[in-house]
């Protein structure tokens, strides 16, 4: 009897793996993933502050739009104050919908990661040809606007089909962020060249934490602090990756931004002990064992 399996990576227990270092002999890599997203008015998917009514769902659309108009800019100032690099997970349609927004983070030197066309859709429900076209369209826009092809991908709504890693590798991507199965980078087999999976958080992610589990901003910030302290201690025996996933319309809100600032300031104060970096820099690290 055979059982369904993704076939992308074999089982591997963390204590049995080779031990290596991040740059500077450090063992904990920390990156912030800032999701900059755009949505359709009157249709499509979108996170909800409150149960949505008939379309057009003005309450939830406007709440999300506030993130691009206000919250993202306050978060930019926070990252500037902490001298903290960010991996910006960007919907390609933002160049049209919010001119100047991605450009402001580009000016900081932040990494721009492909995040589909918009967060009003999922790619995992598409057939292979349509999914390939979606990846190609988003990649073309980001390449044109940024002057270089994006190296990493996060699917809107963490959505993948059975072919997504294959399609991303064939489109030239070096890494993907959709899987939260490990605390170290993992090589995925594809029908062509392998692609690296960089750990992306679903626990330290403000949508599951605040929208789904109804945590307060202080509770979410405390979870970041608790996770950081534990992973810093655990990294003495193995190199680890800690990601923090943020959305401006959630953690950019004033009552959540203050607790987040204190949590990130604590992490930044340990930069002599950790590698404060981006997802792309982690993927490019030559010390990661080959799968």
Residue 49 lies in a domain: no
202-241 tens-digit pLDDT: 999 999 999 999 999 999 999 999 999 999 999 999 999 9
pLDDT tens profile 146-170: 999 999 999 999 999 999 999 999 9
Is residue 59 a part of any domain in this protein?
A: no
Show contacts of 283-290: CB within 8 Å, 24+ apart.
283/151, 283/152, 283/174, 283/175, 283/185, 283/196, 283/198, 284/151, 284/174, 285/22, 285/23, 287/20, 287/21, 287/22, 287/239, 288/20, 288/185, 288/196, 289/17, 289/18, 289/20, 290/187
Q: What is the pLDDT of residue 8?
A: 96
Tokens of 173: 């991507």
| Short-list 276, 244, 281, 271, CA closest to 113 | 281
CATH number, domain at 205? Answer: 3.20.20.370
**Can you say how many angstroms the Cα of residue 107 is from the centroid of all Cα atoms in its chain?**
19
Segments forming the whole domain that contains residue 155? 18-39+65-283
Closest CA to 12 of 174, 203, 176, 184: 184
Residue 54 within any structural domain of the chain: no
> Looking at the domain assignment, is residue 251 inside a domain?
yes
Half-sphere exposure in the Cβ direction for 200 (13 Å, CA): 27
User: Is there a contact between 121 and 87 (Cβ–Cβ < 8 Å)?
Assistant: no
φ, ψ (nearest 5 deg) of residue 152: -125, 160
pLDDT in tens, 80-128: 999 999 999 999 999 999 999 999 999 999 999 999 999 999 999 999 9
Please give the angle made by the CA atoms of 161, 135 and 45, to the nearest 5 degrees: 65
Closest CA to 47 of 258, 246, 228: 246
Is 4 part of a structural domain of the chain?
Answer: no
Domain count, the chain: 1
What is the pLDDT, as a whole number, of residue 290? Answer: 87
pLDDT score for 96: 98
User: Of 89, 50, 132, 86, which Cα lies nearest the Cα of 267?
Assistant: 86
- Decide the pairing of beta strands 186-188 and 195-197: antiparallel
- Band the pLDDT of 3: cuts 50, 70, 90: confident
Residue 51 included in any domain: no
pLDDT band at 72 (very low <50, low <70, confident <90, very high): very high
Q: Is the pLDDT of residue 1 over 90?
A: no
Average pLDDT, the chain: 97
In a domain, 191, yes or no: yes
Single pTM value for the model: 0.96
Q: Is residue 56 part of a domain?
A: no
Helix (H, G, I), strand (E, B) or coil at 47: coil
- What percent of the chain is predicted at pLDDT more than 70? 100
């Amino acid at each position: 009897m055979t059982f369904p399996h993704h076939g992308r990576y074999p089982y591997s227990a963390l204590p049995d793996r080779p031990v290596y270092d991040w740059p500077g002999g450090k063992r904990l890599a920390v990156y912030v993933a800032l999701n900059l997203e755009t949505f359709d008015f009157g249709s499509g998917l979108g996170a909800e502050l409150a149960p949505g009514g008939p379309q057009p769902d003005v309450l939830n659309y406007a709440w999300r739009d506030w993130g691009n108009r206000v919250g993202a800019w306050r978060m930019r100032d926070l990252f500037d104050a902490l001298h903290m690099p960010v991996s910006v997970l960007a919907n390609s349609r933002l160049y049209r919908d919010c001119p100047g927004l991605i450009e402001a983070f580009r000016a900081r030197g932040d990494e721009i990661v492909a995040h589909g066309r918009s967060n009003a859709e999922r790619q995992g429900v598409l057939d292979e040809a349509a999914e390939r076209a979606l990846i190609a369209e988003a990649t073309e826009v980001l390449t044109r606007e940024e002057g270089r092809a994006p190296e990493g991908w996060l699917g809107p709504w963490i959505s993948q089909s059975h072919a997504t890693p294959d399609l991303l590798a064939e489109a030239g991507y070096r890494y993907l962020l959709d899987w939260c199965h490990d605390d170290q980078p993992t090589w995925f087999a594809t029908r062509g060249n392998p692609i690296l999976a960089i750990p992306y958080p679903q626990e330290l992610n403000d949508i599951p934490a605040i929208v789904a589990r109804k945590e307060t901003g202080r509770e979410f910030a405390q979870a970041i602090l608790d996770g950081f302290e534990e992973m810093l201690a655990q990294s003495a025996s193995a190199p680890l990756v800690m990601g923090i996933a943020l959305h401006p319309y959630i953690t950019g809100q004033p009552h959540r931004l203050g607790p987040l600032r204190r949590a990130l300031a604590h992490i930044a104060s340990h930069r002599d002990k950790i590698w404060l970096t981006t997802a792309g820099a982690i993927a490019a690290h030559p010390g990661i064992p080959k799968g």
